[in-house]
Amino acid sequence: MRVKAYDGLRCFLLLALLEFHYGLAAGVPMARLWPLSLALMCFFVLSGFLITRSLLEQPDVLRFWWRRAWRILPAYYVVLGLAAWIYWPPYLGWLSVYLLNFKLYDLSLSAGQEFVDLMSLGPTSGIHLWSMNVEEQFYLFYPLLFRWCPAGRRGWCLGLGLLGSIAYRQWQLVHQPHSCFGVLPWVAGEHLLWGCLAAWLDHRRKLDWLRTPVCMYASLLAFVGLLAREPQVGQYGWGLLAPPQQSGYGFCLALLVLGLAHQPGSYLAGWLTLKPFRLVGKVAYGAYLVHPYLIPPLQELVQQYPVLAVLPGVPLAVIGPVVTVAVAWAMWLSFEGPANRLKHYSGLKSSGAG
């Protein structure tokens, strides 16, 4: 069953990430911007929740891969192809096989000039696609592990996966604190696993007492409380957040996603289902893919027409999202939407429930 509020949630998560990157492009200090980057955590939690729900409804792994491939790959490779033609970003081969996150981590271990140069290339380097690489890696391996794991042990396995991710992050903070370990799938995957665990326990009716509006709004307040207590993000380098905060955010976001699924009549869900928000959320994937590559031409446009810079400190704060969403809708109508519809014609026979 489709949860309409999730489209609205994607809208606001997308806008947070867009403003994060527009702020960086304008030279705004990271200390002022980093809370916006937490939207990526929520995207991961939401993905984990929806992936698990999808596998519970249709456990055929081949069918799952087929559907995800038609939803994800066309837009990814079209945008990557255009970026290669216009900008020729570095490590195009790693990007093309969804492994840029491993290359980033490898370069960061030596903290050499190559890593510094890559970080200084600006928005057209394609670095933002590391999160897409993590998700694709997860889409590839998680369904197999989920299918092979006995149903009675899935909750325990997901819990152990979470503990392993937290422990590995702590090890990295102690032994390799300046490496870019936050992009590794078994570190960033903690967010995905929070969503997976919430979906699984919800399916087993273990979380009925957490489905209430009170818990949903309490999770939002707890998230804000954690944010207010967050120490300076820079002290963790590329790991971004220490394990206690990381896990706290993941837990709160999982409760939020769970609450939206079961409280469609709540004020928050009703607000998120407003049509303008849903229209933006529908094309959030394409908008995220393309938005950094639009920054250079938008900067030139604002220089020629300063009136477009509504907020002088962040010139692209308004015009950027408008143009990006328009481009994303053009992508959806021209090829992304038609390709997405092909996922319903797999010709694969279901192997039944596992």
CA angle 284, 286, 291 (to 5 degrees): 90
Work out the mean pLDDT of the chain and round it to a whole number. 89
- Are 250 and 190 within 8 A, CB to CB? yes
Q: What is the DSSP string of 48-105?
A: HHHHHHHHHH---HHHHHHHHHHHHHHHHHHHHHHHHHHT--S-HHHHHTT-HHHHHH
Q: Are 50 and 195 in contact (CB under 8 A)?
A: yes
- The stretch 58-76 carries a mean pLDDT of 93
pLDDT tens profile 79-133: 999 999 999 998 999 999 999 999 999 988 876 677 777 777 788 899 999 999 9
Task: Please check the confidence at residue 144 and state whether its pLDDT lies above 50.
Answer: yes
User: What does the domain layout of the chain look like in residue ranges?
Assistant: 4-341
Separation between Cα atoms, residue 80 and residue 114, nearest integer Å: 22
Give residue 250's pLDDT: 94
- The residue-averaged pLDDT of 246-269 equals 95
**In angstroms, rounded to a whole number, what is the distance separating the alpha carbons of residues 51 and 6?**
14
Instruction: Answer whether 213's CB lies under 8 Å from 259's CB.
Output: yes
Share of the chain above pLDDT 70, in %: 92
Taking residues 281-294, report their average pLDDT. 97
Q: What is the pLDDT of residue 235?
A: 44
Query: What pLDDT, on the 0 to 100 scale, is given for residue 111?
Result: 66
Query: In this predicted structure, what is the pLDDT of residue 312?
Result: 80
Among 143-147, 176-180, 250-254, 339-343, the least confident range: 176-180
Summarised one tens digit per residue, pLDDT across range 297-316 is 999 999 999 999 988 889 99
Nearest to 5 by CA among 166, 216, 223, 306: 216
**pLDDT, position 238:** 47
State the DSSP code for 348. P
pLDDT bin (cut points 50, 70, 90) of residue 34 is confident
Q: Is the predicted pLDDT of residue 239 greater than 60, yes or no? A: no
- CB contact at 8 A, 62 and 348: yes
Does the pLDDT of residue 233 top 60, yes or no? no
What was the pLDDT predicted at 2?
85
